[in-house]
Structure 1
Amino acid sequence: MENKRYPLPPFTMETALQKVQAAEDAWNTRDPEKICLAYTVDTEWRNRTDFVNGREEVKQFLKDKWERELDYKLKKELWGFKENRMAVRFEYEWHNAEGQWYRSYGNELWEFDENGLMKKRYASINDLEINENDRYL
């Protein structure tokens, strides 16, 4: 039996906003061990052109991500929700090992199980090279 991850669906405006804020806060820790617990053991992801299946693959994906995307800072915004699904807009800033900064923009579609764990995450993301002094996150 998996733990519950509150708030649970079906979402209201208040609980949908709480869920998005919790995801933003968790991802900004850059802690794959903690973050992966918000997903079902058999979670299904599409992230850019990567397909990730299961909590263990999520954990490894996030470890690899933050080895490349340094000083990562994320902001998420709820765009819509219905029952156990959400649409979220996000942007994040990071730099690579050579010091080039990026702002990455995208949209995510989320689907949750009855325990409030995310079972599906589909993300489309674009990157924009920026100067360090153009950062705002």
Structure 2
Amino acid sequence: MEVKKPLPPFTHETAMQKVQMAEDAWNSRNPEKVSLAYSVDTEWRNRDKFIKGREGVVQFLSDKWNKELDYKLKKELWAFTDNKIAVRFEYEYHDTNGQWYRAYGNENWEFDEYGFMKKRYASINDLPIDEKDRRMK
């Protein structure tokens, strides 16, 4: 069986590693690469969308990054337990009209015994910003 280290149960150090790995993967804006961190049968809630499976993740992220241009993300470990991690995040992007946004949110993650994320629940709010107010460049 394939594994995605670090494995649960998490320590502060391994939880921080998982968060950094997720940030790096999402900033690649490569849906196929990102999907490999999730279990084959992963379940997501992202805002008002419900996504199932890696194929659903690839489709969702492809659509997302076709609309959210020049996407840049920063994640921060908020809390962790044996196989769960909570993060706070923000990211910036612009739409096809050039309007910049900063999105703020929280995610709750649950991992299987092989280190793959089997559940991801995200609550996100977008704030329009001026390009001069960007923090992530």
Whether the TM-score (by the shorter chain) exceeds 0.5 is yes
* 1:124 aligned residue: 123
Distance 1:38 1:14 in 2: 18
Alignment of 1:46-125 (within 5 A): 46-125=45-124
Distance 2:114 2:34 in 1: 16
Q: Residue 5 of structure 1 aligns to a residue in which SS? A: coil
| Residues 11-49 of structure 1: CA deviation (Å, up to 9, x unaligned) | 000000000000000000000011101000100000000
Matched, 1:31 2:23: no
| Residues 52-82 of structure 1: CA deviation (Å, up to 9, x unaligned) | 0111000000000000000000000000000
2:28 is aligned with what amino acid? T
Cα RMSD between the aligned structures? 0.5
Sequence identity (%)? 71
- Unaligned runs of 5+ residues in structure 2 are none
* 1:8 aligned residue: 7
Q: Residue 4 of structure 2 aligns to a residue in which SS? A: coil
Distance 1:37 1:86 in 2: 18
Q: Residue 89 of structure 1 aligns to a residue in which SS? A: strand
Distance 1:41 1:93 in 2: 29
Distance 2:48 2:10 in 1: 29
Give, in angstroms, the shift of residue 106 of structure 1.
0.1
Q: How many residues align?
A: 136
1:21 is aligned with what amino acid? Q
Which TM-score applies when normalising by structure 1?
A: 0.98
Distance 2:52 2:130 in 1: 35
Distance 2:37 2:76 in 1: 18
